[in-house]
Amino acid sequence: MKDKNTLITDLLLTGVCQFSTRFKRSWELKCTIPSRSSWECWQLHPQELVSSEMANRGPSYGLSREVQEKIEQKYDPELESRLVNWIIIQCGEQIEHPPPGRQHFQTWLMDGTLLCKLINSLHPKGNEPIAKISESKMAFKQMEQISQFLKAAEIYGVRTTDIFQTVDLWEGKDMAAVQRTLMALGSLAVTKDDGCYRGDPSWFHRKAQQNRRGFSEEQLRQGQNVIGLQMGSNKGASQSGMTGYGMPRQII
């Protein structure tokens, strides 16, 4: 029969063997970075290990690669420049202008800080939808702030079909979808014209406004007396003057 010390040793060995494969892979990724020592890798927070794995997705091949290339082709560099200028002006802070390019645009927005500041700036002071904005480096906190922005944008009026997914931005899977969401948000801000929008109004198109017609009771009664063309009419095309089939045409 095993003694107490042997049982404890067996339990420890079992726990080491059952160490999550996900954390093992992330451990290897972190330890391959020359700037980190083995002791620093051991002291890493589990969330850092998860973020390392998420940020180091393998390349796509075959059909997946073709689909990803088509998605990336939808990204508009000119639209990126317009959106960057608007965000900097709208937030009204000393925000550093990012270098041009899809990856730089993703890095600029992926922590969710600027997005939260952007949606707050579109509301009157004191009615901001996001109370606390954190510049955390932890992955789950950054994705949480992106989700808060998306929820606030939907409440603001952006359609669900125009809202991107959190991974589209955080993992850079579909930056064109991020552009579409920001364009829809800017169009709504220009259309509302409530004094919160800052920037050139020509950057975004105004959405069509509802134009309902109102009719009085007298107008409705008069409309009931009009005979519609569906009831029949003698003012349209007819066979008057036509010659039947097989009959000679009478010129004189």
**Can you give the residue ranges of every domain in the chain?**
4-55, 67-203
89-124 burial code (b ≥16 CB/10 A, e <16)? ebbeeebeebeeebeebbebbbbbbbbbbbbbbbee
Place of tokens 């950057």: 203
Give dist(CA 20, CA 5) in Å, integer. 25
Give pLDDT tens digits for 15-56. Answer: 544 544 444 444 444 444 444 444 344 344 433 433 434 445
Rg (CA), the chain: 32
Give pLDDT tens digits for 2-11. Answer: 565 665 565 5
> CATH class for domain 67-203?
mainly alpha
* Of 66 and 241, more confident: 66
Indicate the residue type of 246. Answer: G
pTM of the model: 0.60
- Asked if 121 and 149 touch (Cβ cutoff 8 Å), the reply is no
